[in-house]
Structure 1
Amino acid sequence: MPLLTSLPEPKADCALCDRLATFRRDNAAAHPDWFNGAVPSFGPEDARLLIVGLAPGLKGANRTGRPFWGDFAGDLLYPTLLKAGLAQGVHDLDRPDSLSLAGCMITNAVRCVPPQNKPTSAEIKCCRQFLSGRIAALPALRALLALGRIAHDSILDTLAVKKRDFPFSHGARHALPDGLVLFDSFHCSRLNTNTGRLTPAMFETVVGEAAASISD
Structure 2
Amino acid sequence: MKNSSSNPEPEAKKDCPLCPRLVDYRHANQAEHPDWFNGAVPSFGQEDAEVLIVGLAPGVTGANRTGRPFTGDWAGDLLYATLAKFNLSDGQYDCRPDDGLNLKKVMITNAVRCVPPQNKPTPAEIKTCRPFLTARINALPQLKVILALGKIAHDSTIATLGLRLKDFPFGHANRHDIPPDDVLTRPPVMFDSYHCSRYNTNTRRLTPEMFEDVFAKICAELD
Q: How far off its partner does 1:76 sit?
A: 0.3
Instruction: Specify whether residues 66 and 162 from structure 1 end up closer, same or farther in structure 2 by C-alpha distance, changes over 3 A only.
Output: same
Query: Structure 2 counterpart of 1:54, which letter?
Result: L
After superposition, residues 114-193 of structure 1 pair within 5 angstroms as 114-178=116-180, 179-193=187-201
Tell me, yes or no, if the aligned pair for 2:72 and 2:96 is still in contact at 8 Å: no
Separation in 1, partners of 2:74, 2:191: 22
Partner of 2:42: 40
- Structure 1 length-normalised TM: 0.96
Partner of 2:183: none
Partner of 1:3: 3
Instruction: Specify whether residues 164 and 94 from structure 1 end up closer, same or farther in structure 2 by C-alpha distance, changes over 3 A only.
Output: closer
SS in 2 for 1:77: helix
- Structure 2 length-normalised TM: 0.94
Tell me, yes or no, if the aligned pair for 1:3 and 1:158 is still in contact at 8 Å: no
Give the aligned length: 215
Q: Does 1:196 align with 2:204?
A: yes
Query: Structure 2 counterpart of 1:98, which letter?
Result: G
Q: How far off its partner does 1:71 sit?
A: 1.8
Separation in 1, partners of 2:114, 2:86: 28
Listed one character per residue, the Cα deviations across residues 77-135 of structure 1 (whole Å, up to 9, x for unaligned) are 00000001111111112463321100010000000000000000000000001000100
Alpha-carbon RMSD: 1.1
SS in 1 for 2:71: coil
Gaps of 5+ in 2: 181-186
Listed one character per residue, the Cα deviations across residues 135-181 of structure 1 (whole Å, up to 9, x for unaligned) are 01111111100000000010010010111111001011111102320
Tell me, yes or no, if the aligned pair for 1:3 and 1:136 is still in contact at 8 Å: no
Deviates more, 1:170-179 or 1:26-35: 170-179
Separation in 2, partners of 1:192, 1:118: 16
Separation in 2, partners of 1:163, 1:57: 26
SS in 2 for 1:40: coil
Separation in 1, partners of 2:107, 2:51: 6
Deviates more, 1:54-63 or 1:4-13: 4-13
After superposition, residues 30-109 of structure 1 pair within 5 angstroms as 30-94=32-96, 96-109=98-111
Gaps of 5+ in 1: none
Separation in 2, partners of 1:47, 1:37: 24
SS in 2 for 1:105: strand
Tell me, yes or no, if the aligned pair for 2:68 and 2:97 is still in contact at 8 Å: no
